[in-house]
Structure 1
Amino acid sequence: MKVKALPLVIVRLQIVVLLMFGLMLSGCDDKPEEEKGFAGLADDASNYAQVTPDKRFVFPDDHAPHDDFRIEWWYVTANLKDADGQSLGVQWTLFRNALPRAKGLQGDGSGWSNRNLWMGHAAVTSRDDHFAAERYARGGVQQAGVTLAPFAAWIDEWSFSSQSANDDPLADMQLQASGPQFNYRLHLKATKPLVLQGKQGFSQKSEQGQASYYYSQPFFQAEGSIEIEGKTYQVSGPAWLDREWSSQPLTDNQTGWDWFSLHLGDGAEVMLYRMRQKDGEPYLTGTWINADGSTEQLAAKDIELAPEDTTDVEGRDMPTRWSVKIPSKAVDIAVEALNPQAWMNLQIPYWEGPVTLSGSHEGVGYLEMTGY
């Protein structure tokens, strides 16, 4: 059951204190080392559970948090159009991050014994505007979390919650979030089953073996309303849920990633991950999702992915137009940002926004670029 949200300034203070408390209990007297990779995701993860290729996914259980792993997220993007055909994008994300288990503390219960920190990101994007907001919470006080019966993921008043009473709690969902300049409320209905990414959900991110557990629901259809700076739009279009958890998805040599979720006009879906490296070629992987929901893993040799044009975004040279080729599927497309200035100017900044497809296939999708 949710409780009244704490004032944001108190929440942020709690997080800072909790971080300091965790460091002290871990016996860390020296200055912390500089984070490795994007958001420290290449830091040592030996104190956490490890991703291995032999996991058997169990649903609905795996919709819930996996507290022994360091990082996980519930991630929704939607490519929408209003009644006049205007393109709009929506993002909703809940991140869970676990502190190392400190000496003397047992379990992951309520109050200060809970190791989880929570962060929410939400955004709306049009051709001319991009607005983003964030929320923070600590675990153990019911300000944020994920429950299974019924399924609900929330942080403060933002929520992604089930409207379904059948065996698939993600079949019928309500999504809502707000920021100073925007507000949205969407109804999402799944038309096909979930998809396991990689090798039966084991998604490798490097030649050294870094990986995540990863599944998606790329077959949502969304409808509802978006309010931007006081104007309301009735919208509909495809949406995509990503679920990942890991403890070390990057290597010391990897600085960030470029992630694509693409809805092709013929009903197929494509997921692509490009992990950039300080030295050497990027690590490239993906999944081809047929219109009937069956999948085929894509290796680097199956994909040709390259930036074609860049945009100055907040002083960064960001690739906002890409060439994507999958010869075995006769795919030769340009992927272009709807709004090149879709910068998530938050505590952990990155680029995230809707894209349009042209060439051999029409369509829409989302692009996320981190570590720039």
Structure 2
Amino acid sequence: MNARWILLALWPGYAAAQGFAGLGTDAEGFALPQPDPLFDFPADHGPHWDYRIEWWYLTAVMEGPDGTPYGLQWTLFRSALAPEEGVGWDAPQVWFGHAAVTGEDFHHVTERFARGGIGQAGVTADPFEAWIDDWRLAGPSFDDLTLSASGPDFAYEVSLEARGPLILHGEAGYSVKSDAGQASYYYAQPDYALTGTLTLPDGEVEVTGTGWLDREWSSQPLEADQTGWDWFALDLDDGAKLMLYRLRSADGSAWTAATHVAPDGTVTTVPDGAATGRATGTATVAGREVPVEWRLQWPDMGIDVTTRPLNPQAWMDVAIPYWEGPVIVDGSHTGRGYLEMTGYE
């Protein structure tokens, strides 16, 4: 068994040892994002084999017929050991998926791993389909999708219909992550109308809500001393959308970036420092203190909001653990959304 096969066999433990800080390791041999990208849709909805890291990331905030709130997450990750697609068992692609559903008093989560090249997992661009085993996000186009996934304690099947155009984060989709210039290609569909069914231990629940799908790929998206991030995707009641992330460094500093989509579709992006996030409250989660309450400020946009979790215990107990769950927004604007925090393992 050669070194590549050994690494594939041991991959979950290898990834857990590196954690999210491993995204700052050297990416020799892989392509690196460059400024002024020219996206090609629908082709760019598919894989980019010459880049090391890629994901298709859906979060959704929902409610049942009685107004009970829920959150849903589904993510497919691709991690490459070499910059090529490969064929059969020799393919250097590792795929893994996360699925979760969250309520005020529960958080169900599961994960799956797959090898590339043998049909167990993959993505096709047109028509769009992303799958790992029997989990699928698929439809005739990126604007019209159906998602299904299941775990030991839950299942969901929902339909997603885009209500607006794709938006580009950063500088026309080139998203800078540090002073040293690390970057990714990053775009999103932030406005899906969602309908469907959750299957929970107490039975089925019909839900409606909104979904946000992020697409990002890179080869070394973090600087070596960046240890994790705090990422917010918010659906505001005035019809606007807000994305803000903080990339934390070991010295306590943070690199921030934000995107605002106005109700009329106008997109405003800002680089480091123009918008900020500050933790205002913590909770003991899985034996560690995690900053689950936040204040986000973007003075030029008149944004000064706080977020609090629907369920503070939304811990993703997977190979590389992190916190992810729905949040409620108050302050200058009200709304709801999702928060993901990595590097607190």
TM-score range, shorter chain: over 0.9
Give 1:257's aligned residue: 229
Pairing partner for 2:75 from 88, 93, 97: 93
Q: CA separation of 1:267/1:19 partners in 2, compared to 1, >3 Å: closer, same or farther?
A: farther
Q: Which amino acid aligns with 1:232?
A: E
1:312 matched to 2:299: no
Separation in structure 2 between the aligned mates of residue 20 and residue 307 of structure 1, nearest angstrom: 37
Judging by fraction of residues, say which structure has more strand: 2
C-alpha RMSD of the superposition: 2.0
2:53 partner letter: I
**Letter paired with 1:110:** V
Distance change >3 Å, CA 123–CA 328, structure 1 → 2: same
Per the alignment, residue 9 of structure 1 pairs with none
**CA-to-aligned-CA distance 1:83-118 (integer Å, 9 cap, x gap):** 0100000000000000035xxxxx533213311110
Specify the alignment match of 2:192 in structure 1: 220
Secondary structure of 1:368's match? strand
2:114 equivalent to 1:127:
no
Q: Secondary structure at the match of 1:47?
A: coil
How far residue 359 of structure 1 moved from its aligned partner, in angstroms, is 1.4
Partner of 2:61 in structure 1? 79
Equivalence for 1:266:
238
Cα distance in structure 1, aligned partners of 2:9 and 2:220? 19
| Deviation larger for 308-317 or 327-336 | 327-336
Long gaps (5+) in structure 1? 1-13, 24-31, 102-106
* Alignment partners' CA distance in 1, 2:333 and 2:51: 38
Which position in structure 2 is the counterpart of 1:236? 208
Q: Between Structure 1 and Structure 2, whose CA radius of gyration is higher? A: 1
Residue matched to 2:34: 52
SS of 1:41 mapped into structure 2: helix
Aligned match of 2:262:
290
CA gap of 1:33–1:271, structure 2 versus 1, over 3 A, is closer
Q: How far is the alpha carbon of 1:189 from its aligned partner?
A: 0.3
Calculate the TM-score normalised by the size of structure 2.
0.94
- 2:80, 2:334 → 1: CA distance? 40
Aligned: 1:18 with 2:15: no
SS at match of 1:96: strand
Deviation at 1:54, TM superposition (A): 2.8
Tell me if the contact between 1:35 and 1:43 (Cα under 8 Å) persists in the aligned partners: no
The match for 1:363 among 321, 329, 335 is: 335
1:281-311 residue CA offsets vs partner (Å, 9 max, x unmatched): 2001111111222211123332131000000
Following the alignment from structure 1 to structure 2, what is the Cα–Cα distance between the partners of residues 21 and 235?
38
1: CA distance, partners of 2:93 / 2:124: 14
Q: TM-score scaled to structure 1, two decimals?
A: 0.87
**Cα distance in structure 2, aligned partners of 1:22 and 1:45:** 21
Superposed CA deviations along residues 182-238 of structure 1, whole A, max 9, x for unmatched, are 000000000111001100000011010011100000011101000111411110111
In the superposition, relative to structure 1, how do residues 36 and 339 fare at CA in structure 2: closer, same or farther (>3 Å)? same
Determine if contact 1:213/1:244 at 8 Å carries over to the other structure: yes
Number of equivalences: 340
CA distance in 2 between partners of 1:238 and 1:33 (Å): 32
- Superposition deviation, residue 52 in structure 1: 0.9
- 1:163-184 deviations in whole A, cap 9, x for unaligned? x3xxxx1111101110000000
1-structure distance, mates of 2:121, 2:5: 16
